[in-house]
Structure 1
Amino acid sequence: MNRSGRLLSVLCLATSGGLAWSTLLEFRHGPLWAGFLFAAASLVPVIGVVRESVVTDLCRAAAEPCVPGGPSGPGGPSGPSGPGADAIVREELDGACCERWWTSLGSDHDATCRHRVPRSSAA
């Protein structure tokens, strides 16, 4: 993780700590619903830190060069387009519906797409 990522993580954890403190104060002196609201809100920055570390790990894995005879076998890919990058691209492509969905910015589907929404004939 680079310096800005670490700074963002520290700020998120500090925010989460402040919200956790507010949770305790609300449970002691405030309405119960506000305590639960602050408890839920204190988890959101922690989720952001976890996601940032996962993205960093994926980027680091994608940037690792593969050596010939290594995990991808002899003559396998090398450089930043190794198996880590292939896994990321494969996951993104599997998440897409169809080609028309990609080209129409998610507003239209192919006729054979399982996510196709039937259009109304009412004008």
Structure 2
Amino acid sequence: MNRSAGLLSALYLATSTGLAWTAVLALRSGPPWAVCLFAAASLVPVIAVVRESVLRDQRRALAEMCGRATVPEATAAEDIVRAELDTACCERWWTSCGTDHDSACPRKVPRSSAA
């Protein structure tokens, strides 16, 4: 992890801690909706830290692929994007918000719960 990503992750964790502390204070004397709001908000920076670690892993994989003399950087990046898209579902699933699948989709599931 480079210096800026580490600093950003530290800032995320400090923000999460502050929001969690605010949730505790709201639990003592505040309305219940504020407790739920601050508790949920304290999870958002944690998700950002996880996202930063995933990006770090992807950058490391790209650097390893580019380290090989036979693979140019653009091809390596395209391979990573292609692999990510291949793990996703079919085109129709994306455009129909998960309600429909292409006929060749390996994850095709019945549309009704009766099956």
Question: How far off its partner does 1:90 sit?
Answer: 3.6
C-alpha deviation, 1:80, in angstroms: 3.7
Partner Cα distance (1:55, 1:32) in 2:
36
Paired residues for 1:8-47 under 5 Å: 8-47=8-47
Q: Greater share of helix residues, 1 or 2?
A: 2
Q: TM-score, normalised by structure 2?
A: 0.65
Number of residue-to-residue matches in the alignment: 92
Q: Pick from 57, 69, 81 the counterpart of residue 88 of structure 1.
A: 81
Instruction: Give TM-score scaled by structure 1 length.
Output: 0.61
Deviation sequence 1:25-75 (CA, Å, 0-9, x none):
0111111111011000000000001001101111111111247xxxxxxxx
The equivalent residue for 1:5 is 5
**1:17 to 1:55, Cα distance in 2 relative to 1, 3 A:** same
Distance 1:44 1:30 in 2: 21
Computed over aligned residues only, the root mean square deviation of the Cα atoms, in angstroms, reads 2.8
Q: Which one has a bigger Cα radius of gyration?
A: 1
Offset at 1:81?
Answer: 5.5
Gaps of 5+ in 2: 97-115
Cα offset, 1:19, TM superposition: 0.2
Partner Cα separation in structure 2 for residue 92 and residue 2 of structure 1: 27
Q: In the TM superposition, what are the counterparts of 1:73-112 in structure 2 within 5 Å?
A: 77-78=70-71, 80=73, 86-92=79-85, 97=91
Identical aligned pairs, as a percentage?
50
Ranges of 4+ aligned residues in structure 1 off by more than 6 Å: 93-96
